[in-house]
Amino acid sequence: MKEAQIKQAYEVAKARYAELGIDSDAAVAKLQDLSISLHCWQTDDVTGTEKADGSLTGGIQATGNYPGKARNLAEIRADIDKAMALIPGEHRVNVHALYADFSETGFVDRDKIEPKHFQSWIDWAKEKGYKLDFNATCFSHEKSADGFTLSHRDPAIRQFWIDHVNACRKIAEEMGRQLNSACIHNIWIPDGSKDLTVDRALYRKNLKESLDKIFEMKTNDDYMRDCIECKLFGIGSESYVVGSHEFYMGYGVANNKMVTLDSGHFHPTEVISDKISSLLLFAPEIMLHVSRGVRWDSDHVVLLTDELQALAQEIVRADAFDRVHVGLDYFDASINRIGAYVVGTRAAQKAFLMALLEPIAQLRAFEAKGQNFERLALLEEAKALPWADVYNYFCLKNNAIVGEAYIADIQKYEADVTSKR
């Protein structure tokens, strides 16, 4: 599309929204503030930098063998840069502890990692203008091989993972300090059982005690925020997961910790959009890991689905833009990996833009008066409003490729770069 066409279409859309009392310029400005955290593990199928084979354990599985995955930190960062260039706005990068840089220091085990092992990530982020988030990696390790980490029966194993998580919290704090933006550190563990478990309470008691010990180490909230993430089940933990939603919701509320909601970590018929307004009454903030569940698999590329739209609507309607952090969490090894980034991130942006352009004032007025037909009708009509023309304008303002033209750009990168790996 030509620039003049995009601007002309936007002016028409702007006038249409103005008829409903909606300021499209304000919506575009608000969308500009939405900084989505792109997960580094999409580039290499969660291989990381520790092992040559990149074998996965702990219920983590990347399916597919599409050629051209990143093989080292330089290629990971190059692929993220390429994706960032095709996504309008300014965004973050989410790094797992599995991606340490040992090139200058030599390998150390996870309980001994330090900020120096991630300094090259910080330097790269500074150069590119990105902010960083971080995750402890409590999987794909010999001390997680039996399916338990922070809830393990062996106190020595628990202590190893406590030390690892606190090492990661120190790293996250240093990332936030150097980049002048609070780094969100997420804790997810794979702990659970494939079959029936008798001592469920024991493992949850162990997990609570481990978390209590972890959070005895105080950090600066200006530089690092803790969050804890639940899961319904995983590969190898089909019958029992120690860190259930009820456990982490209770722990988060009791200890004033941010709770992470992953859209693929619940029952296939359960959605997280309805949890937003409840959880925000009791938790200081929420971290979202946005993915797309398909039956048992939670890690498909994000699309502009009804649930994604509902999730964005709940956040906007609750006026919670500043209390909800948005990150992506999927790893599709069956398609072009940079394309997966761009499709998913743009879908998330579109959902939030649609929510920001909703005629919420009129909808609330109908609801307050019990005018349910009118509310329903306006909700339906709002679906056909020209939000796509607003998104195209948003892309233009950010010097990002408009529309489907990014497909050819990614194909060229594949031909020139990833296909030669």
CATH code of 332's domain: 3.20.20.150
300: tokens are 């498909």
pLDDT at 1: 81
| Per-residue pLDDT tens over the stretch 349-377 | 999 999 999 999 999 999 999 999 999 99
Residue 395 lies in a domain: no
Residue 389 lies in a domain: no
- The question of whether 289 is a catalytic residue gets the answer yes
Residue 80 lies in a domain: yes
- HSE, side-chain direction, 13 A CA sphere, residue 20: 21
pLDDT tier at 331, thresholds 50, 70, 90: confident
* Residue 197 pLDDT > 80: yes
- Do residues 97 and 48 lie in contact, with contact meaning Cβ atoms separated by under 8 Å? no
- The question of whether 416 is a catalytic residue gets the answer no
* Residue 59 pLDDT > 70: no
- The question of whether 128 is a catalytic residue gets the answer no
Residue 79 lies in a domain: yes
Average pLDDT over all residues of the chain: 95
Among the listed residues 114, 297, 307, 374, the single catalytic one is: 297
Structurally, the chain folds into a number of domains equal to: 1
Among the listed residues 143, 164, 208, 231, the single catalytic one is: 231
pLDDT tier at 250, thresholds 50, 70, 90: very high
Residue 220 lies in a domain: yes
Using CB atoms within 10 A of its CB, is residue 178 exposed (0-12), middle (13-18) or buried (19+)? middle
Rounded Cα–Cα distance for residues 71 and 54 (Å): 10
Nearest alpha carbon to residue 28 among 289, 356, 404, 260: 356
Residue 419 lies in a domain: no
Residue 21 lies in a domain: no
Residue 314 lies in a domain: yes
- The question of whether 75 is a catalytic residue gets the answer no
Q: Which residues 6+ apart lie within 8 Å of 71 measured at CB?
A: 44, 421
Among the listed residues 41, 161, 188, 387, the single catalytic one is: 188
- The question of whether 199 is a catalytic residue gets the answer no
- The question of whether 188 is a catalytic residue gets the answer yes
- Do residues 134 and 168 lie in contact, with contact meaning Cβ atoms separated by under 8 Å? yes
- The question of whether 369 is a catalytic residue gets the answer no
- The question of whether 117 is a catalytic residue gets the answer no
pLDDT tier at 58, thresholds 50, 70, 90: low
Among the listed residues 173, 229, 285, 358, the single catalytic one is: 229
pLDDT at 53: 62
Q: Please report which residue ranges of 215-333 form alpha helices under DSSP H.
A: 245-255, 276-279, 306-317
| Per-residue pLDDT tens over the stretch 297-318 | 678 999 999 999 999 999 999 9
Among the listed residues 117, 208, 265, 325, the single catalytic one is: 265
Tell me the residue range of the domain where 243 lies: 35-357
Report the 10 Å Cβ neighbour count for 58.
24
Nearest alpha carbon to residue 320 among 354, 358, 281: 281
* Residue 56 pLDDT > 70: no
Expressed in angstroms, the distance from the first to the final Cα of the chain is 33
- The question of whether 329 is a catalytic residue gets the answer yes
pLDDT tier at 235, thresholds 50, 70, 90: confident
Among the listed residues 44, 173, 174, 329, the single catalytic one is: 329
Among the listed residues 133, 191, 262, 332, the single catalytic one is: 262
386-413 mean pLDDT: 97
What's the predicted TM-score (pTM) here? Answer: 0.95
pLDDT at 52: 62
Among the listed residues 299, 332, 358, 414, the single catalytic one is: 299
